[in-house]
Amino acid sequence: MDAVDTLIAERACERLIIDYAALNDAGDWAAVAALYVADGRMSRPTAPDDFVEGRDAILAAFNARPARASRHICANIRVTVSSDGTATATSQILLFTGPDQAAKVGSYQDRLTLTADGWRFVERKGSLDF
């Protein structure tokens, strides 16, 4: 993989992370779940060791959430691409959930893979920083 291919892959992974936040804020749970491979897994920043496994289970977990207005701000996205079509990424998230809620700052550690449909999450592990 040459430098240009690496930059393109890094940007595609960054876009995946940003799309995840935007779709989450829009409440488009089917589109959020589609960003995972079929057997992908995720943990929310508020429960970093409680993984939801499988795209269908991820969709069900999002569908079970109470409705809320939210805005996720993604920052400090760092992607490392491997030549085998995988990548790792870290990012920080600032979450606003309404006027009466304190903002939350969290982090994600991601494992990604390149599929026929583009880059997808294999694993998203969230953690709450403060």
Specify the pLDDT at position 98.
80
Closest to 77 in 3D by CA, of 99, 93, 62, 66: 93
Specify the pLDDT at position 81.
98
Give the other-Cβ count within 10 Å of 124's Cβ: 25
Model's pTM, two decimal places? Answer: 0.94
Specify the pLDDT at position 67.
85
The CATH class for the domain spanning 3-128 reads alpha beta
Specify the pLDDT at position 53.
98
Tokens coding 39: 């057997």
* Domains of the chain by residue range: 3-128
Specify the pLDDT at position 119.
98
User: From first to last of its 130 residues, what are the pLDDT tens digits of the chain?
Assistant: 899 999 999 999 999 999 999 999 999 999 999 999 999 999 999 899 999 999 999 999 999 988 888 999 999 999 999 999 999 999 999 999 887 888 999 999 999 999 999 999 999 999 999 8
